[in-house]
Amino acid sequence: MGTPYEKAIQDAVLAQCAEAKSMEPAAEIILSSILAGAKDPAVKASAAEFVRQTVTGAVKGLLLAEVDLSAAALRLLNTAADAAGKSEIDPGEAMTWAIEGIARSAKLIPAPVLQAMKEELEAAFMGVGSVFDDLCRRELEAPE
């Protein structure tokens, strides 16, 4: 499931992260993808969905590469915001879209890992953990 673009990001992250067992290559892929997309007028018109798909694809690739996601949420958000700040996308909006992108994969992420991600986000940004929790809950309750 997912778009061809999301699948391409997933495959790139899997290829780069499987051996490293680190999310750092994924951060670079997210950064370069958002920066490249921000230059495309068609992508800029749908920046929210572009960032969501980029992050969702990265999360799925990290899961397949068996990279520990419990401490990855903040890095994913910061990477999206960093890329946005280097383009014409609002960094705050990019962080929101990144949270939504992570939450799209909630059905694939074990509950203890989702909880650790929520706690990491809440520690960094008061209130964001509960937003993430709500988004994940909606995703988990959504029909297939």
Tell if the pTM clears 0.95, that is, is over it.
no
The residue extents of the domains of the chain are 4-141
pLDDT in tens, 49-90: 999 999 999 999 999 999 988 878 899 999 999 999 998 889
- Do the beta carbons of residue 65 and residue 14 sit within 8 Å? yes
User: What is the C-alpha separation between 98 and 95, in angstroms, rounded?
Assistant: 5
- Supply the pLDDT for residue 93: 93
Tell the residue number behind the tokens 């609002």, with chain if given: 90
- Do the beta carbons of residue 79 and residue 101 sit within 8 Å? no
How big, in percent rounded to 5, are the helix, strand and coil portions of the chain?
80, 0, 20
